Amino acid sequence: MKKLINDYPIWSFLIINYLISWSFLYPSYQIVLANGKITPLSLIGLIGAYGPTIAAIIVQSILDRKKLNALFKSLLKVKTKIFYVLFLIITPIILYFLAYLSSTILFNGSFSFNWIAGISNIPLLFLAALPFGPMGEELGWRGFMLPKLLEKNSVIKSTFYVGLAWGIWHLASFTFPGAALPSYLDVSIWSIALYFVNTIALSFTFTFIYFKTNGSVFYAILLHAFFNIASDIAENFLGETTNFSILLTAYTLNIILAGIFGFLLIRNQKPNLIRN
């Protein structure tokens, strides 16, 4: 087993990650659906939510236990320029704001600007999003998988692979409305493909932050949280809608904007080493 993990560290990480996550997330979602509410037993899903982190720790421990400290230290890398902190907070919000605004105008939707609700709800949305996807996943995706891929691949290719693996990780979550796919989208081959494109597109900005913060997982977690709540923030500012065309177009436009913007940010980035 140790030789297999040493020979195929990324595949080993993905297999262990998916096995842990899907084994706990899927039954957790089914328990909630069957009971119509969160029960104590359904909380086993939290183990699955931390599958990427658990897998990264297991694989890194086998590969080189001495480098395990460096992996944990990436969670504590908080020293960076204030510009990049503001960037990772504002960028997801602006991208979705532009997408939602454009979509609403395109389909003659109405606005009900509420700046107070838009701003005041951000801390609560952030704290609600933080413990699940962001804290459970980023030590795996950007702490372990991305730097491991960068050892032998270009920045663009490494980013693409992480984004695709990140999307596939959500397969179990597609069985629960709103857990991965927006609740207004039915599960289909097209909606799942669109979601994969979404995680790949967002990954470019994650890679940019990875380099600009010296491989900080701490800031990857913050960026993940703000990407997760960007749609809610935009709707709080501009007014919620149930118009399917507006919602789907906004979601799609955000993917396009994020992909183009993120690609431009890292198109010339070299896979230089990150200081521990």
Global pTM? 0.95
Quick check: 120 pLDDT over 90? no
What is the arithmetic mean of pLDDT over 20-38?
94
Quick check: 152 pLDDT over 90? yes
Which of 68-72, 112-116, 129-133, 236-240 bottoms out in mean pLDDT, i.e. has the lowest?
Answer: 112-116
pLDDT digits (tens, 9 = 90+) for 163-183: 999 999 999 999 999 899 999
How sure is the predictor about 275, in pLDDT bands with cuts at 50, 70 and 90?
low
Rounded Cα gap, residues 197 and 259, in angstroms: 9
How sure is the predictor about 115, in pLDDT bands with cuts at 50, 70 and 90?
confident
Rounded Cα gap, residues 241 and 247, in angstroms: 8
For residue 38 the two structure tokens come to 């969160």
What is the arithmetic mean of pLDDT over 21-30?
96
Rounded Cα gap, residues 121 and 125, in angstroms: 6
Rounded Cα gap, residues 8 and 29, in angstroms: 31
Residue 77: its pLDDT value, please?
94
The percentage of the chain sitting over the pLDDT mark of 90, rounded to a whole number, equals 84
* Residue 92: strand, helix, or coil: helix
pLDDT digits (tens, 9 = 90+) for 187-197: 999 999 999 99
Contact of 206 with 181, CB cutoff 8 Å:
no
For residue 73 the two structure tokens come to 């230290």
How sure is the predictor about 88, in pLDDT bands with cuts at 50, 70 and 90?
very high
Long-range residue pairs from 237-240, CB within 8 A, at least 24 positions apart, any chain: 237/97, 237/113, 237/114, 237/115, 237/117, 237/118, 238/97, 238/100, 238/101, 238/104, 238/111, 238/112, 238/113, 239/110, 239/111, 239/112, 239/113, 239/114
Rounded Cα gap, residues 273 and 276, in angstroms: 9
What does pLDDT average to over the chain? Answer: 94
